[in-house]
């Protein structure tokens, strides 16, 4: 249920972006903050929450996060300004950070058999994609009949049901080690994430300038301090011994880069369907059912295939399929490009199933049971940070292409302020053409904006295709001998005390 909600919330937001632009008038930078502050805060607090869940109980943290997420979602729904929406999205991200490691940690504790665990993770990923599947449909219906804020209220009944059902059905697991979490490590890690991401964002938006460069430098500096403290502290927030396992390190890299190209491409595809394809939100959501179904099929098919084929070859095969899908996106035309875009994105998602399931399994299976929350948080941090960075980097690359092509667009009849808006965002160009221009002037601006945004999608597809192909080669040549459930490579480095408080767990579940 929490996995379903988190993915549902992500998918409905992308469809709401054009309506946010009309009502709240965010700048291009503010639009990026609205979309990615959620992922940034999740990435910034996942490790903290994963370790906290190990110590106070995974189920307890899950329920606390559910209540907080429901409250923050309600606040986001009634945001009256761009600033308020960004703040409430940040609060949702912090609450979401409590949910994600708890779900994977519970799976890892309940299913110690390799085949069962891989199957359970496949089902977990299916729940994630079910949220992506129904999110656009339900969200599109709500946007079509109510205001954009209604999409955030979808999470409230889900979390209420979780608060009722969770104590009844979920067992509790926690580590017997009750030492306090190192607060300085928490501060250092957040100080690593926020300045670094801000710097990357601003460089992608406006080019080289002093402030974003300083942000990146400060982020790297805090990162060095964070990792030095983890090496020397007796109770580290992040167990660095996990990274000594080569398979884990490569799996984290695959999830980071894979999340980046997936998140950035999804942003452009959803907006392409509405801005260029001219589809209303509900119709755009229905078109996005096909990619979601492909990922569900791929996620469910991966566990049985992985029992017969080595994970590296499953991963390489999936990334090769995704590369083909990205190449199809490079050929999407402005006129009649909806079908081509949906086909290409469906092929991309068909190839992403093995990466999502197998990389997650390889990472959490490398950790002892009492550190399952911490390991799952590392896995989710890599994926979430990848998605957030992908939105920034690929979003920035696409924005550069759009602005370069719109620099020569005919904006006669518009005020300087409106002219700047249409050259900054495609959604703004469509709205301005509909409201402020008529006849040939409106048609000329619409064609220019749609053509420029299509070229942006094509460029993002090309970048993603090259990245996916590199990931396929990395899997084959670096972790070709990796096996699911094989933790021998890091058995010495993770040989910590494995005492887990299972007193409240049914003996059958423990078995």
Tens-digit pLDDT profile for residues 237-263: 777 777 777 888 888 889 889 988 988
Which residue reads 């094509």 in tokens? 458
Residue 106 is encoded by which pair of tokens?
């519970």
By DSSP bridging, strand 500-501 and strand 174-175 are antiparallel
The residue that leads in pLDDT, 427 or 342, is 342
The residue that leads in pLDDT, 215 or 239, is 215
pLDDT at 506: 43
Q: Does domain 2-167+237-486 have CATH number 3.80.10.10?
A: no
Most confident of 105-114, 244-253, 335-344, 425-434: 335-344
**At 373, is the pLDDT very low, low, confident or very high (cuts 50, 70, 90)?**
low
Task: With a cut of 50, say whether residue 491 has pLDDT above it.
Answer: no
Angle in degrees, CA 236, 238, 243, rounded to 5 = 125
pLDDT at 473: 93
133 burial (CB, 10 Å; 0-12 / 13-18 / 19+) is buried
**Contact at 8 Å (CB) between 163 and 67?**
yes
The overall longest dimension of the chain from CA atoms, in Å, is 75
**At 494, is the pLDDT very low, low, confident or very high (cuts 50, 70, 90)?**
very low
Separation CA 49–CA 62 (nearest Å): 10
Helix axes 338-364, 82-110, angle to 10 degrees: 50
Helix axes 338-364, 439-478, angle to 10 degrees: 30
Most confident of 126-140, 228-242, 341-355: 341-355
Q: What is the CA radius of gyration of the chain?
A: 22
Average pLDDT of the segment spanning 357-371: 77
Which of 122-136, 252-266, 395-409 is the least confident region?
Answer: 122-136
Which residue reads 């490569």 in tokens? 250
Q: Among 456, 453, 411, which Cα is nearest to 432's?
A: 411
The overall pTM is greater than 0.85: no
Separation CA 306–CA 4 (nearest Å): 24
- The per-residue pLDDT for range 132-187, each reduced to its tens digit, is 667 767 777 777 778 778 878 877 888 888 889 888 888 887 766 656 777 888 88
Separation CA 278–CA 254 (nearest Å): 34
**Contact at 8 Å (CB) between 370 and 55?**
no
Task: With a cut of 90, say whether residue 384 has pLDDT above it.
Answer: no
Chain centre to alpha carbon of residue 291: 16
Question: Length of the chain, please?
Answer: 511
- The per-residue pLDDT for range 310-319, each reduced to its tens digit, is 888 999 999 9
């Amino acid at each position: 249920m929490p996995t379903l909600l988190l993915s549902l919330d992500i998918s409905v937001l992308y469809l709401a972006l054009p309506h946010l632009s009309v009502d709240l008038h965010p700048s291009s930078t503010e639009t990026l903050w609205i979309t990615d502050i959620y992922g940034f805060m999740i990435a910034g607090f996942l490790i903290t929450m994963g370790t906290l869940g190990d110590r106070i109980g995974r189920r307890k943290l899950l329920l606390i996060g559910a209540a907080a997420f429901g409250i923050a979602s309600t606040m986001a729904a009634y945001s009256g300004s761009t600033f308020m929406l960004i703040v409430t999205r940040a609060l949702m991200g912090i609450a979401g950070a409590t949910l994600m490691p708890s779900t994977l940690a519970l799976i890892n504790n309940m299913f110690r058999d390799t085949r069962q665990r891989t199957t359970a993770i496949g089902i977990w990923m299916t729940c994630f994609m079910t949220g992506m599947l129904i999110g656009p449909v339900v969200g599109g219906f709500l946007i079509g009949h109510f205001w954009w804020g209604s999409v955030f209220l979808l999470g409230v009944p889900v979390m209420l049901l979780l608060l009722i059902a969770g104590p009844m059905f979920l067992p509790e697991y926690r580590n017997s080690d009750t030492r306090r979490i190192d607060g300085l490590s928490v501060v250092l890690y957040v100080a690593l994430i926020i300045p670094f991401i801000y710097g990357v964002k601003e460089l992608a938006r406006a080019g080289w300038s002093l402030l974003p460069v300083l942000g990146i430098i400060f982020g790297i500096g805090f990162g060095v301090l964070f990792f030095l403290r983890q090496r020397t502290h007796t109770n580290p927030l992040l167990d660095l011994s996990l990274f000594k396992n080569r398979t884990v390190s490569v799996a984290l890299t695959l999830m980071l880069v894979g999340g980046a190209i997936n998140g950035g491409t999804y942003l452009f595809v959803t907006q392409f369907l509405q801005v260029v394809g001219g589809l209303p939100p509900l119709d755009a959501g229905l078109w996005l059912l096909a990619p979601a179904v492909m990922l569900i099929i791929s996620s469910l098919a991966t566990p049985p295939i992985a029992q017969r084929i080595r994970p590296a070859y499953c991963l390489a095969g999936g990334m090769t399929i995704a590369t083909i899908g990205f190449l199809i996106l490079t050929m999407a035309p402005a006129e009649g490009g909806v079908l081509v875009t949906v086909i290409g994105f469906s092929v991309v998602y068909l190839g992403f199933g093995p990466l999502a399931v197998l990389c997650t399994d390889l990472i959490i299976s490398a950790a002892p049971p009492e550190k399952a929350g911490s390991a799952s948080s590392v896995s989710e941090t890599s994926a979430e940070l990848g998605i957030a960075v992908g939105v920034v980097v690929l979003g920035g690359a696409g924005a550069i292409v759009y602005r370069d092509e719109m620099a020569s667009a005919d904006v006669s009849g518009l005020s300087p302020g409106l002219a700047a808006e249409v050259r900054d965002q495609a959604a703004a160009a469509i709205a301005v053409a509909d409201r402020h221009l008529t006849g040939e002037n409106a048609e000329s601006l619409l064609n220019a904006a749609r053509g420029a945004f299509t070229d942006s999608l094509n460029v993002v597809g090309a970048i993603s295709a090259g990245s996916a192909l590199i990931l396929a080669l990395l899997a084959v040549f670096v972790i070709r001998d990796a096996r699911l459930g094989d933790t021998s490579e890091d058995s010495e480095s993770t040989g910590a005390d494995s005492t887990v408080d299972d007193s409240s767990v049914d003996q059958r579940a423990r078995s």
